[in-house]
Amino acid sequence: MLTRKQHELICFIADRLAETGVSPSFEEMKEALDLKSKSGVHRLISALEEREFIRRLPNRARALEVLRMPERGERKTVAKAAKPATGATTPPAPANDVVEIPLHGRIAAGTPIEALEGSTMLPVPAALLGAGEHYALEVAGDSMVEAGILDGDYALIRRTETARDGEIIVALIDDAEATLKYFRKEGAMIRLDPANRDYSPQRYRPDQVRVQGRLSGLLRRY
């Protein structure tokens, strides 16, 4: 079931594509839905993408494709919910969509990411995830505490094989040891920096390091 704002957005995108053949800009979507910031548009786009209503076309700016429209029953339900009773105020629909992503276990020395593949799934608020494929790892140790990443946290990782300087990545060293560190290029070497002054940076040749993903969010249980 789509929220009212999700329904409004997909209809706006579909109408604009039908009229002009070009996706609306994020600024146009923000104004059309009367949102306060573009971050709200990003969350709605991600939720629609996760539910496979739309997809982003690679290597093209402002390129969205509508894969399917809401079922007739969904449109009726949303339309009814959007009409408040006389004298009453209907609160906006909450952005509380939850998706499940693979939980591959604890990220620890000597354990390749490939060996952590399993069937365990972790429910995650869709708002914490952007586009792309994601998985989760349970953090072991304190090497990233100064970045706010604590032992027992769940790191939400977007799968990718590339990284830019300063990003926190999952790196596989010599196809044997997985680690969560800041990525830096240092001359002809790659430097993996911890976020704990008690630990030293690690330096490797580029052929020793494979990027397994970039950090996109954290979950913490109290």
Q: 98-151, pLDDT tens digit by residue?
A: 788 888 877 754 444 554 555 588 888 877 777 788 889 888 888 888 999 888
Looking at the structure, tell me whether residues 122 and 212 fall in a common domain.
yes
Look up the domain containing 131 and give its range. Answer: 98-219
Spatial CA neighbour of 210 closest among 166, 165, 178:
178
Question: Which of 81, 106, 132 is the last residue before a domain boundary?
Answer: 81
Q: Give the highest mean pLDDT range of 60-69, 101-110, 182-191.
A: 182-191
Spatial CA neighbour of 217 closest among 99, 129, 125:
129
Say whether 143 is catalytic: yes
Looking at the structure, tell me whether residues 69 and 22 fall in a common domain.
yes
CB of 155 closer than 8 Å to CB of 149:
yes
Looking at the structure, tell me whether residues 57 and 114 fall in a common domain.
no
Q: In the prediction, which pLDDT does 94 show?
A: 41
Say whether 181 is catalytic: yes
Active-site hit among 46, 181, 185, 216: 181
Looking at the structure, tell me whether residues 114 and 61 fall in a common domain.
no
How far, in Å, CA of 215 to CA of 217, rounded? Answer: 6
Looking at the structure, tell me whether residues 198 and 116 fall in a common domain.
yes
Count of structural domains within the chain? 2
CB of 62 closer than 8 Å to CB of 22:
yes
Q: In the prediction, which pLDDT does 166 show?
A: 92
How far, in Å, CA of 156 to CA of 124, rounded? Answer: 9
Active-site hit among 23, 143, 185, 216: 143
- Give domain status of residue 200, yes or no: yes
Residue 24 gets which letter from DSSP?
P
pLDDT(155) > 60: yes
Domain CATH code at residue 59:
1.10.10.10
